[in-house]
Structure 1
Amino acid sequence: MTIVDASADTTYLRPATATDDELATLFQPVFDRVAAGNVAREKERILPYEQVDWLKEAGFGRVRIPVEFGGFGASLEQTFALLAALAEADPNVSHIWRNHLAFVEDRLNAVPSETNDRWIRRFLDGEFVGGGWTEANNGTFADLKTTVRADGDRWLVSGAKFYATGSLYADWLDVLGKGDGDTVLTALVRRTDPGVRLVDDWTGFGQRATASGTAEYTDVPAEHGDVFPAGERFAYQGHFYQTAMLSVLVGIARAAQRDGIAALRARGRNYPQALDPVPAADAQLLQVVGQVSVHVFAAEAALSRSSRTLDHVAAAHAAGDADARKDRVLRAEVATAQAQLAIIEAALQVTTTVFDALGASGVSERLLLDRHWRNARTLASHNPRVYKARILGDWLVNATDPVPDLAAFGRGGQGD
């Protein structure tokens, strides 16, 4: 069965049709269920298999697929807002979805074909994509050791990757490797195939339940319809990966604000220097919470504005307008980098400053408020922000094209 008439359409992309209220009604109850055991999972490093399955069953993996093809028709702005809401419930679970949603976006951007119809059906059936592109053992994208080589009517994938986020929860793994000559390919392989070895050896102090460890491949088969030239991946792929991570940071900032307010309300006594013996009535502590809310507001606004630029790129691509797409990619580069700087600063401020409204009880292991800072700091360390302000300044002052620097190949990967 053909999903799209290839003679009439150049992509599977369509204008968004979902409303915010519709999406909230569908998914917020699931997010609330995910939130219920977050602290216990963080304490014990319990992997959220069940929680990921709840989201699969609810159809979260097809949120971006247009309604006419069986999805929910969300915009990119709405999708990233949902990821932030999920991250407020559990940032590990939200991060796990990053690779899957990115590959769905890639197939929606692709030319309709029997092969791509098959991928759309897989998404509708709840099949889930994980994996990572970053080479293990300090390998780089400029010197790929992973190979995707032809073997008769199929391909064989061999190599090792790190930052393989979501791999343990996946049906498919998205692998970047070198083909013939200088060709770079991405191959989708089944997680359960012989030759796949997944190791949960992520040692970071945050995001500890994302399965962001090592994935090893030894002559793992991939069918021809599951191997694609890396250069043909969607134009805003790097922005998508980065924005998904920023969505998680926004969710963490919200969760820290929520938990900080709850902890302040629960405080039973105050310091002698305080303005009121009741902590929740102390004007200075209320000021701390008010300032925290400003940082959260700024992070939410930055996410909304930057993700909207990605909808504009997608619209230009769907319309086949190459000039508009090029211009909008540049605007998206700038907006994504600006959002990264704004959201990271806000999240780190929130997850630190919130403790100023609390007493010594705020560092209780029972509350586990430190998880918010650890998770935010870990996410902020991916794709380092230290270079971004310089590149933005050079663009603003000297009109130096920011795209080659900000979109360096590999920014769409998982790690450094």
Structure 2
Amino acid sequence: MAAPASADLRSLLTRPDADSAALAATYRPLFDRIAEGNPARERAREFPYDQVRWLVDAGFSRLRIPRAYGGDGASLRQLFALLAELGAADPNVAHVFRNHLAFVEDRLNSPEHPATAVWLERFRRGEFVGGGWTEANNARFTDIATRVSTDAGVTRLSGDKYYATGSLYADWLDVIGRDEDDRLITALVARDQPGVTLVDDWEGFGQQTTASGSARYRDAVVDEHGIFPAEERFAYQGLFYQTALLAVLTGIARSAFRDGAAALGKRTRNYPLGTNDVPAQDVLLQQRIGLLATRVFAADAALDKQSATLDAVALAHLRDEDEHAALVEATVRTHEAQTVVIEAALEVTGTVFDALGASATALSAGLDRHWRNARTLASHNPRVFKERVLGDYYVNGTPPPGGSNAFLRPQGQGA
């Protein structure tokens, strides 16, 4: 499909019109294929390059793009529901898509920018975007040392980043830095060029194949269509990033529950104090699994309700209406969902072992991967700070900090 004329881009952010059943029919078979090899990849720390490419080739990276421009026309609610399903299949693969989907969302919110048509064509060709915003130091998130400078018509970028999630899978790296006037700039840099070094030095015990390690830039050339003022990023960017994490955590809760229930059904020996010689018939163990089912239900419900509030913000932008009220609502719901989803994921991935024997801790069983991944993802944005904001909002009526750029208004991008 040829790139649309720039005049047509005024209506790029359109009302979603995707059919959920059709989306499921397209992507669930891929999720099933990805799930089959997930335990083995976790054990071997094998990067899922093929699995990411399957999804990109199928169009998963273009879910939110209107169908007229080569995408599925999905709503944000549908997008994050599918991301949760992918998270249940392989949370590392799901997490890899976070930065790409956020950059796509930014282009949808900025249809009149002359670069948007270029990026739409790149997305249609299957080009993928990784991230790299957090500085590789212990300074505050707002202390950006990465520099963007232009000389003789060529813009270059130099700096060091960490938490560069998805970088090893990417064609483009979305990097934040400061220009000669000290303004925050987001710059797209081609991964495969001199001056870009990606290092697999991620040390976390979870999300081990998300390529969340270091990225180093030394006079890397910035794409001529990839320079954007950071303050112009879409208003709900921080909320989008956070919702992506919540979707993956919801997926992890589902998969841990699934694996735990299946393991209990296969157990043949119970403890002497059990209520039945057959573990699957032990009422206490049944109760434990039943309790965890309610936690998964709570996470699913929280994600569904919260992600719908992001659609309300996007709709306000589409209608050229004041987005403030919708942003406040979405921010409050995102903070509330964060505690619900994180607590559910941590409880399910940890408590499931109470229904199983010591054999469930075997590395070959792979049940530890659920807790490791959930605990790592939950640590990116400690819920204690979001709960404090909620308390101030409900007691004192203090509006929550804005849902925009995480480095301008901290909201959920950092780690």
Give the TM-score normalised by the residue count of structure 2: 0.96
Shift of 1:154: 2.8
Which residue identity does 1:200 align to in structure 2? Answer: D
The answer to whether the 8 A contact 1:256-1:354 is kept is yes
The answer to whether the 8 A contact 1:134-1:140 is kept is no
1:33 aligned partner: 33
Q: CA 1:353–1:376 in structure 2 vs 1: closer, same or farther (change >3 Å)?
A: same
SS of equivalent residue, structure 2 residue 185:
strand
Unaligned runs of 5+ in 2: none
2:290 aligned partner: 290
2:383 aligned partner: 385
Which residue identity does 2:355 align to in structure 1? Answer: A
Which residue identity does 2:184 align to in structure 1? Answer: V
1:110-152 per-position Cα deviation (integer Å, ceiling 9, x unaligned): 0334421010111111100002200002243332110111123
SS of equivalent residue, structure 2 residue 115:
helix
2:148 aligned partner: 148
Q: CA 1:260–1:273 in structure 2 vs 1: closer, same or farther (change >3 Å)?
A: same
Whole-Å Cα distance in 2 between the matches of residues 270 and 2 of structure 1? 63
Shift of 1:223: 3.0
1:320 aligned partner: 320
Which residue identity does 1:3 align to in structure 2? Answer: P
Which residue identity does 1:186 align to in structure 2? Answer: T
1:36-66 per-position Cα deviation (integer Å, ceiling 9, x unaligned): 1111111111111111111111111111101
Is residue 2:367 matched to residue 1:369?
yes
Whole-Å Cα distance in 2 between the matches of residues 5 and 52 of structure 1? 30
The answer to whether the 8 A contact 2:401-2:411 is kept is no
Is residue 2:332 matched to residue 1:334?
yes
Which residue identity does 1:238 align to in structure 2? Answer: G
2:4 aligned partner: 3
Q: CA 1:168–1:9 in structure 2 vs 1: closer, same or farther (change >3 Å)?
A: closer
Is residue 2:50 matched to residue 1:50?
yes
1:339-386 per-position Cα deviation (integer Å, ceiling 9, x unaligned): 111100110011111111111111111111111111000000002111
SS of equivalent residue, structure 2 residue 28:
helix
The answer to whether the 8 A contact 1:132-1:161 is kept is yes
SS of equivalent residue, structure 2 residue 204:
coil
SS of equivalent residue, structure 2 residue 337:
helix
The answer to whether the 8 A contact 2:77-2:311 is kept is yes
Whole-Å Cα distance in 2 between the matches of residues 79 and 20 of structure 1? 10
The answer to whether the 8 A contact 2:186-2:229 is kept is yes
Is residue 2:214 matched to residue 1:206?
no
Which residue identity does 2:346 align to in structure 1? Answer: L
Q: CA 1:413–1:303 in structure 2 vs 1: closer, same or farther (change >3 Å)?
A: closer
| Identical residues among aligned pairs (%) | 56
Whole-Å Cα distance in 2 between the matches of residues 305 and 360 of structure 1? 37
The answer to whether the 8 A contact 2:242-2:412 is kept is no
2:244 aligned partner: 244
Whole-Å Cα distance in 2 between the matches of residues 2 and 363 of structure 1? 53
Shift of 1:409: 2.6
Q: CA 1:4–1:79 in structure 2 vs 1: closer, same or farther (change >3 Å)?
A: farther
Whole-Å Cα distance in 2 between the matches of residues 182 and 354 of structure 1? 50
1:167 aligned partner: 167
Whole-Å Cα distance in 2 between the matches of residues 317 and 10 of structure 1? 12
The answer to whether the 8 A contact 1:155-1:221 is kept is yes
Moved more, 262-271 or 236-245: 262-271
Which residue identity does 1:396 align to in structure 2? Answer: Y
Unaligned runs of 5+ in 1: none
Whole-Å Cα distance in 2 between the matches of residues 61 and 43 of structure 1? 27
Whole-Å Cα distance in 2 between the matches of residues 291 and 389 of structure 1? 24
Q: How does 1:2-401 map to 2 (within 5 A)?
A: 3=4, 6=7, 10-321=10-321, 323=322, 325-401=323-399
Q: CA 1:191–1:5 in structure 2 vs 1: closer, same or farther (change >3 Å)?
A: closer
Runs (4+) of structure 1 exceeding 4 A deviation are 404-408, 410-414
Whole-Å Cα distance in 2 between the matches of residues 375 and 212 of structure 1? 13
Which residue identity does 1:305 align to in structure 2? Answer: K
Whole-Å Cα distance in 1 between the matches of residues 176 and 97 of structure 2? 18
SS of equivalent residue, structure 1 residue 298:
helix
Q: CA 1:46–1:9 in structure 2 vs 1: closer, same or farther (change >3 Å)?
A: closer
Whole-Å Cα distance in 2 between the matches of residues 233 and 204 of structure 1? 29
The answer to whether the 8 A contact 1:132-1:413 is kept is no
The answer to whether the 8 A contact 2:3-2:121 is kept is no
The answer to whether the 8 A contact 1:134-1:413 is kept is no
The answer to whether the 8 A contact 2:406-2:413 is kept is no
Shift of 1:326: 1.1
The answer to whether the 8 A contact 1:128-1:170 is kept is yes
Q: CA 1:280–1:364 in structure 2 vs 1: closer, same or farther (change >3 Å)?
A: same
Whole-Å Cα distance in 1 between the matches of residues 231 and 402 of structure 2? 15
The answer to whether the 8 A contact 1:333-1:406 is kept is no
How many equivalent residue pairs? 413
SS of equivalent residue, structure 1 residue 305:
helix
